[in-house]
Amino acid sequence: AVRVAVCVAMPGAVRGAVRTLCLAALLGALGAGGTELTLELPDSAQRCFHQELESGIKFTLDYQVISGGHYDVDCYVEDPNGKTIYQETKKQYDSFSHHTEVKGVYTFCFSNEFSTFSHKIVYFDFQVGDEPPILPDMNNRVTALTQMESACVTIHEMLNAVIDSQTHYRLREAQDRSRAEELNGRVSYWSVGETLILFVVSIGQVMLLKSFFTEKRPSSGGAGT
């Protein structure tokens, strides 16, 4: 099992006042030592996640912005000494792998502080360590794998590739759906605006044409003969 501590920092309306909410959670027993999360990142906000790792361990961080603004986010990773080992600004998606050199708590943060009105939905996959072998004694065997064992390993690798592809396509589908809904909203608002403008112009034209054909009666009364 892997224990992950989550720290969320969300600035309020006042720039100098920052509310900090820290949550400690056990995200579950992870077979390969990883987790996948989809989080909402409000405007002018930053969310950080903390993971304690041993030295010499490989971890991989994959992330992608699903919806909001220009589909971009800032991301950085720090080691236990506070050294920034990864930093990117306004990225739609990226992948970062690293072998830990020191033991301690590693921090990775997603920031939307450059945006003042766009909320973001961010997906990330954090994997720690290598996947365990499908066979218990696979790494220590001195004989070749049997045909059935080789077939099992091949099927396992293909299933992993299918899972990765499904995750990728689900993210693309969610991103495309968000864009389609946003475009549909803009088209609807534009159509309503055009309808109102057409209605006002039509009434104005009718009133203008009516004024051309309205007979003006001379005023009665005047000097007698």
pTM of the model: 0.60
pLDDT tens digits, one per residue of 189-210? 999 999 999 999 999 998 888 8
CATH class of 33-132: mainly beta
The answer to whether 27 and 35 are in contact (CB under 8 A) is yes
pLDDT one-digit tens code per residue, 89-139: 999 889 999 999 999 999 999 999 998 888 889 999 998 887 666 666 665
CA distance 131 to 106: 20
- 176-186 residue pLDDT tens: 888 888 889 88
44 close to 116: Cβ distance less than 8 angstroms: yes
Q: Which pLDDT does position 133 carry in this prediction?
A: 65
The pLDDT value given to residue 142? 54
Q: Spell out where 56-128 has E strands.
A: 58-67, 73-78, 84-91, 93-99, 104-111, 120-128
pLDDT at residue 210, as a whole number = 82
CA–CA separation, 139 vs 124, rounded Å?
A: 30
Q: Which pair of tokens denotes residue 79?
A: 């080691």
**Residue-level pLDDT at 21:** 28
Q: Where are the domains of the chain?
A: 33-132, 143-211
